């Protein structure tokens, strides 16, 4: 979150990819609200106003804020308030020369490629439910239908969340490769993700943890995520990050 809070430039940031990732985060936030409503059986009534208020405040603070920061950064929107107007003034900052060059480089990916990848992944999720295919088998009982949320928002989330997020991530990785720079996040965050992955995989090694009867399954989408993380690690090690000089450069 700190990365996007401090963004003042979109140099070598995939705008279309970031938008897709932000949309996946927004869908995740709405799904969190819908699942909480279903689990707690909340009704729209004055007697539940405190629960609704807490749910909305928590969702905005923990789920909506990051997608908002991402969209604000890539749309180049600035908000300012005056003593005259109650509502903030909104203006879009013109892109710099480097940002326009970055956008042209990003456009090589093409919306057709992104739409095709996203649509193909959605079709796979609709037909095959890849989350249920485990590369490393689980030792937990298989969840019953009652263990899954039944609301429409959760079903929609199950279809589009991974396709949107993965397509956005691939778009950023492609731009990193073309620009020979590492952007889209902090390098230290990639290192933390790698450590967490290693810790998650340790539970599948009896030589390390012994017999572990509560072992979850390692699904096909997790393997795909692991491959994307490997590419990200390579880029973080091989490419320099965007410097302030790159971000401030403007030929206008």
Cα–Cα dist 70/128, whole Å: 31
- Contact, 78 vs 93, CB < 8 A? yes
Residues whose CB falls within 8 Å of the CB of residue 28, separated by 6 or more in sequence, listed in order? 63, 157, 161
Q: By the 8 A CB rule, do 176 and 235 touch?
A: yes
Overall domain count for the chain: 1
> What average pLDDT score do residues 231-235 get?
97
Residue 48 lies in domain: 2-80+90-248
**Cα gap 92→74, rounded to integer Å:** 10
Q: CA-CA distance, 105 to 224, in Å (whole number)?
A: 25
Would residue 227 count as lying in a domain?
Answer: yes
Q: What is the pLDDT of residues 69-94, one digit of tens each?
A: 999 999 988 777 766 676 777 888 88
Structure tokens at 110: 């093409």
Tell me the whole-structure pTM to 2 decimals. 0.88
User: In Å, how far from its chain's centre is CA 69?
Assistant: 12
Whether 185 is in a domain gets the answer yes
- For residue 252, the model assigns a pLDDT of 47
Q: Note whether residue 167 is domain-resident.
A: yes
Convert the pLDDT of each residue in 9-41 to its tens digit: 899 999 999 999 999 999 999 999 998 888 877
- The residue-averaged pLDDT of 154-181 equals 96
3-class secondary structure, 244 = helix
pLDDT exceeds cutoff 90 at 176: yes
Alpha helices in the chain (DSSP H): 2-5, 15-40, 49-59, 65-75, 97-106, 111-128, 152-179, 187-202, 206-209, 220-238, 244-248
Cα 247–chain centre separation: 23
Which pLDDT value is given to residue 212?
72
Residue at 85 is within a domain: no
Q: What's residue 69's pLDDT? A: 93
Query: For residue 170, what are the contacts with CB-CB under 8 A and spacing of at least 6?
Result: 17, 117, 228
**CB-based contact 68:21 (threshold 8 Å):** no
Residue 226 lies in a domain: yes
Say if residue 106's pLDDT is above 80. Answer: yes
Residue 246 CB contacts under 8 Å (≥ 6 apart), including other chains: 11, 12, 98, 181
């Amino acid at each position: 979150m700190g990365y996007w809070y401090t963004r003042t430039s979109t140099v070598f940031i995939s705008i279309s990819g970031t938008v897709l990732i932000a949309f996946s985060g927004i869908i995740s936030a709405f799904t969190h609200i819908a699942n909480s409503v279903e689990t707690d059986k909340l009704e729209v009534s004055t007697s539940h106003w405190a629960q609704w208020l807490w749910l909305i405040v928590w969702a905005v603070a923990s789920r909506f804020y990051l997608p908002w920061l991402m969209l604000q950064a890539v749309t180049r929107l600035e908000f300012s308030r005056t003593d005259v107007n109650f509502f903030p003034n909104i203006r879009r900052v013109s892109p710099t020369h480097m940002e326009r060059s970055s956008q042209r480089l990003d456009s090589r990916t093409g919306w057709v490629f992104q739409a095709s990848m996203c649509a193909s992944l959605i079709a796979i999720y609709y037909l095959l439910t890849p989350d249920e295919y485990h590369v490393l088998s689980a030792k937990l009982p298989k969840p019953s239908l009652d263990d899954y949320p039944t609301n429409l928002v959760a079903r929609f989330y199950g279809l589009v969340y991974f396709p949107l997020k993965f397509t956005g991530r691939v778009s950023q990785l492609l731009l990193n490769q073309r620009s020979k720079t590492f952007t889209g996040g902090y390098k230290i965050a990639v290192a933390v993700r790698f450590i967490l992955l290693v810790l998650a995989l340790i539970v599948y090694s009896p030589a390390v943890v012994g017999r572990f009867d509560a072992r979850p399954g390692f699904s096909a989408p997790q393997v795909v995520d692991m491959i994307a993380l490997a590419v990200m690690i390579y880029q973080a090690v091989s490419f320099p990050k965007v410097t302030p000089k790159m971000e401030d450069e403007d030929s206008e």
